[in-house]
A and B are shown apart, each in its own frame.
Chain A
Amino acid sequence: MIGNMQLNDEGKLKHFLSIEGLDKCLLTEILDTAESFAGMSAQQVKKVPLLRGKTIVNLFFENSTRTRTTFELAATRLSADVINMNIATSATSKGESLLDTIRNLEAMFVDMFVVRHALSGAAHFIAQQTASHISVINAGDGQHAHPTQAMLDMFTIRQLKPNFSNLRVAIIGDILHSRVARSEIQALNTLGVAEVRVIAPKTLLPAHVESLGVSVSHNLNEGLKDIDVVMMLRLQKERMTSALLPSESEYFKCFGLTEEKLKIAKPDAIVMHPGPINRGVEIDSKVADGPQSVILKQVSNGIAVRMAIMAMAMQTLPSSPGRPVTQAPSLAITGGL
C-alpha cells in the first residue's frame, strides 16, 4: 500500500516514505544515481541545476542536526531554494495542527517537503493530504521508517562490499524504538543479502521481530559470528528510566562493541552507526575511530544519496530506468554554471 502511494502512474518515485513496497530495481536505481553525484563534493563547483527554481521545505517536528544538514546541503547542491522549519519551536506549539501547517506551506507554492516527525505514519499522512504536485521525503517518522538513512547505508555497504547476496549483516541495539532498523532490514532484504541478524535483549526487540525477515540473537558473542557488516544503533538514555535496561554499564558489557568483540566477526567486517554515537555505551571509541569503522563515510554519502532521491522524486533526471546516470556531473557544465 505504501509502495503504491510512493510511485506515480508511470511507476516512478513520487514520494519517498518507506522502503516497503519499493523493488530491488528501484533501490538500485537510487544507488546508481547517487553514485553519479558522489564525486561532486570533491569538485570546485559543487552544484548542478537539476532543481533550480524548486522550493524545498525541511519540515522538522523533531530535532536533528545531521539529517537536516545533509538534506539542506543536498538540496542546495541541486540548486533548489531551501527553507528550514523547526516546528518544535514554531507553529504547532501555538496550537496549529499538523494539517494547518501543511496547508499554509502549500499556499506558499513549495515543491517538496522533507519531513521528520516523532510519530509513526506522519510522513505518510502528509503525503496523503498534500497537494498532488508536492513530493514528500520521509526524514524519519516515529518508530516507523528512516528510508534515506537506510539507502545511504546501502550505498556505503555497496562501495565496500559490492555483492549483497553474500553478506551477513548484524543490527545491534534498540531495534524496538528504531525507525532506522526497520528501514535497514527492509532495504537489506530487498537487495537480497544472505542474512539479517538482530542482536538485542528482549526488552529492545519488538514482538514478532522475526516477521520482519531477520534471525534473532540475544548474545553478542554468538551473534557476531560470520558477520560482514556490523550496524550499531544509538541507545537513548531514556531507555534506562523506562525499565528497559538496568544500566549503561551493563548494556555496554553485554552489547557494547569493543575491539575484542569485533574480532568475532569476519576480519574484513565493517562497522556502521547512524549517529550520533554514544561512546562507551553502545560502541567503544577505539572501534568507532578504528580502521573498520565507516561511520564518517556514511555521513558524506548521505549528501549524494539524498540528492539522488530528491532529484528522482522531482522527476528532473534525464535518465531511463536501469541506465547508470553518469552524465549528471557533466550537466553542471552544460547547465551553464
Chain B
Amino acid sequence: MTRICIAKGRIIDPANDMDRVGSIYIENGKIVSVTDEQAGFKADKVIDASDQIVCPGFIDLSTRLRDMGHSRKATFKSEVIAAASAGVTTLCLQPDTVPVIDTPAVAELIKDLAQIAGYRQIYPIGALTHKLDGVELSSMLSLKNAGCIAVGNANQPVKNLLILRRAMEYAASHDLLLMFRPNDFWLSNNGCAHEGVVATRYGLPSIPEAAETIALAQCLELAELTGCRVHFGQLSSKRSVIQIHQAKKYGLRVSADVAIHQLHLTENDMQPFDSAYHVLPPLRTEADKQYLRQGLAEGTLNSICSDHQPHDLDAKLGAFPETEPGISALETLLPLMLRLVKQHAITLEQGIGCLSANPARVLRLESGALTPGFAADVCIFDPELDWQVNAENWKSQGVNTPFWGHTLKGRVTHTLQAGQIIYSL
C-alpha cells in the first residue's frame, strides 16, 4: 500500500476551518493525519508542496463528458484527464447523455466506463422523467440504488407543474435531491442570448431574465409544498439570488450554485456573433454578475460549478443562433476562481469551500474535506503559476472556451483521488 506525504504546503480546508502550513499523511487511500510532522510515518512518496496550496479535491456539480452517443465531442478518456488536471476529483454528470441516464443500466455503464478511463468518482444525476420527456416519472429509487446521487431533468422542461409536483413528492419519498436548472421553456422561446441591449442590437432571439426567475419561483413553492430537497443549478440573474436569499431566510432546505463563467462574463463581453460565448443560461448584465458574486460572498449561493460542456469544432461553427451552447470549462475553473479572489469578490477560503466542502454538503458526501479517515481527495496548486490556454496545455477534447489564448494565473500541480496520484504537472 502506498503511503504518501504531502509536505509543507499551505493547507486550506474550509470544512475544518483550517489555514496553516503543514503536511498531510495518507495511507491506504485515506487521510491519516494533518499535522506538522508525524513521527514514524515512512512515506513511499513525498510530494513537496512548499509555496503551494493544498486543499480538498474539487467537486463539480454539473458536468457533461459526452462519450457514447457524442464521442465526437469528447470521451470519458479525454475528459477525466481534463478533470484530473483541473484538481477535480468528483464529477456529477447531467442526465442528458445519449442514451439518457434513466435506467440503472445506463448509470452503471457510465460509472464503469469512467473507471476504465481511470477515474473513480463519477456520480450520475438520474433523469427525473423517463427519457427526460417531462411526462412520465423515472424509476428514481432504482436509479438511486444504481449510484445516482440526485435526480434532475437537465435542460429539458417538465411538461406541467402537476408533473413536477409529483416528481418532487416521489423524490422526497426516497430522500433524493432534485438538481434543478430553472428555465421556463416557453418564455425562453428558443432564444440564444440575454434579452438586453446586445441581443437587441444584433437581432438575436433572446431569453428574458424572467424565464429563469419564474421557473425558480414555481419550484421554490413546490419545494415548500412537497418537502423535496432542491439544489438550483447555474443561476444567472440578480433576482434569482434575491429569491434564494429569501427562501433560505424563510427556512426552505434549498441550495444553489453558479457556473464559473457567469461570474466573469457579461453580455457586453460577447464579441459579436462569437459562438464561444453562446451559453445557456445566457451571459447577462454587469448588475447580474455583481449580484451573483455578492450571493457567493454572502453564502446565498454556496457552490461554483464548471458547467463543463465540451463540443466538437463543428458544433460552434455557424451563424450564432444555430451553434450549440456551452463552454469547455473544467480546466479554467481554478484560475477563474482565483481571479475572483484577486478581485476581492470572495476570500480564498470561500472560493475553495465553494468547490469542495459546500458541494459535498449539498450531495451529503463524506468528502470535500481533509478530515482524517476521509478518502484522500486532494488538490495541490501553485496560485502564482501563469499558464496559457493553448493546444499544448489543454486536455479536454472540447476547445470551446472564450478564454482560448488567454494567460491565466494558478495551476494544479498534483491531484490525488482516494490516495492515488491521478495527475501531476
Contacts and interface: CB of A to CB of B under 8 A. Distances in A.
Interface of A: 1-2, 20, 97-99, 117, 119-122, 124-125, 129, 141-145, 179, 182, 206-209, 211-212
Contacts of B200: 206-209, 211-212
A144 B317 contact: no
Interface of A is mostly: mixed
Contacts of A129: 317
Contact of A124 (B195, B201, B273): B273
Contacts of A98: 317-319
Interface string B181-201: 000000000000001110111
A179 B319 CA distance: 15
Given A144-B202, A145-B203, A212-B200, A120 B195 contact: no
A142 B199 CA distance: 12
Nearest to B321: A119
Interface string B389-425: 0000000000000000000000000000000000000
A295 B206 CA distance: 32
Contact of B317 (A1, A97, A212): A97
B204 A143 contact: yes
Nearest to A242: B189
Given A119-B321, A125-B273, A179 B203 contact: yes
A211 B317 contact: no
Contacts of A209: 200
Contacts of B201: 20, 182, 211-212
B44 interface: no
Contacts of B318: 97-99, 119, 122, 125
A99 B317 contact: yes
A120 B208 contact: no
Contact of B203 (A1, A97, A144, A207): A144
A290 B318 CA distance: 44
Interface string B251-272: 0000000000000000000011
Contact of A121 (B195, B206, B273, B314): B273
Contact of B314 (A20, A97, A182): A97
A120 B197 contact: no
A212 B200 CA distance: 8
Nearest to A206: B200
* The 4 residue pairs across chains A and B that have the minimum distance between CB atoms: A143-B203, A121-B273, A119-B319, A144-B203
A122 B201 CA distance: 15
B374 interface: no
Nearest to B209: A207
B56 to A, nearest CB: 41
Contact of B319 (A142, A206, A211): A142
Contacts of B317: 97-99, 125, 129
Residue of B197, B202, B317 contacting most chain A CB atoms (<10 Å): B202
Nearest to A142: B203
Interface in B183-240: 195-197, 199-206, 208
B36 interface: no
B332 to A, nearest CB: 23
B319 A141 contact: yes
B104 to A, nearest CB: 36
B271 A142 contact: no
A99 B323 CA distance: 12
Interface of B is mostly: loop
Interface string B327-362: 000000000000000000000000000000000000
Contacts of A207: 195-196, 199-200, 206, 208
A121 B272 contact: yes
A112 B255 CA distance: 55
B322 interface: yes
B265 to A, nearest CB: 16
B200 to A, nearest CB: 4
Contacts of B204: 120-121, 142-144
Contacts of A120: 202-205, 273, 319-321
Contacts of B205: 120, 143
Contacts of A142: 203-204, 319, 321
A336 B321 CA distance: 48
B202 to A, nearest CB: 6
A301 to B, nearest CB: 24
Contact of B197 (A145, A182, A211): A211
B364 to A, nearest CB: 41
A182 B195 contact: no
Given A20-B201, A121-B319, A208 B272 contact: no
A5 to B, nearest CB: 9
B311 to A, nearest CB: 15
Interface in B288-345: 314, 317-322
A99 B201 CA distance: 25
B319 A125 contact: yes
Given A98-B317, A119-B319, A121-B204, 12 more contacts: A97-B314, A98-B319, A99-B317, A121-B202, A121-B321, A142-B204, A143-B204, A144-B204, A145-B203, A182-B203, A209-B200, A211-B201
A99 B315 CA distance: 12
7 contacts: A119-B322, A120-B205, A120-B273, A121-B202, A125-B273, A179-B203, A208-B197
Contacts of A143: 203-205
Nearest to B201: A212
A108 to B, nearest CB: 21
Contacts of B322: 119
A206 B197 CA distance: 9
A127 to B, nearest CB: 10
Nearest to A144: B203
Nearest to A143: B203
A209 B195 CA distance: 11
A143 B202 CA distance: 8
A168 to B, nearest CB: 22
Contacts of A211: 197, 200-201
B272 A1 contact: yes
A120 B319 CA distance: 7
A20 B197 CA distance: 14
Nearest to B273: A121
Residue of A2, A98, A143 contacting most chain B CB atoms (<10 Å): A143
Residue of A97, A99, A120 contacting most chain B CB atoms (<10 Å): A120
B86 to A, nearest CB: 30
A209 B197 CA distance: 8
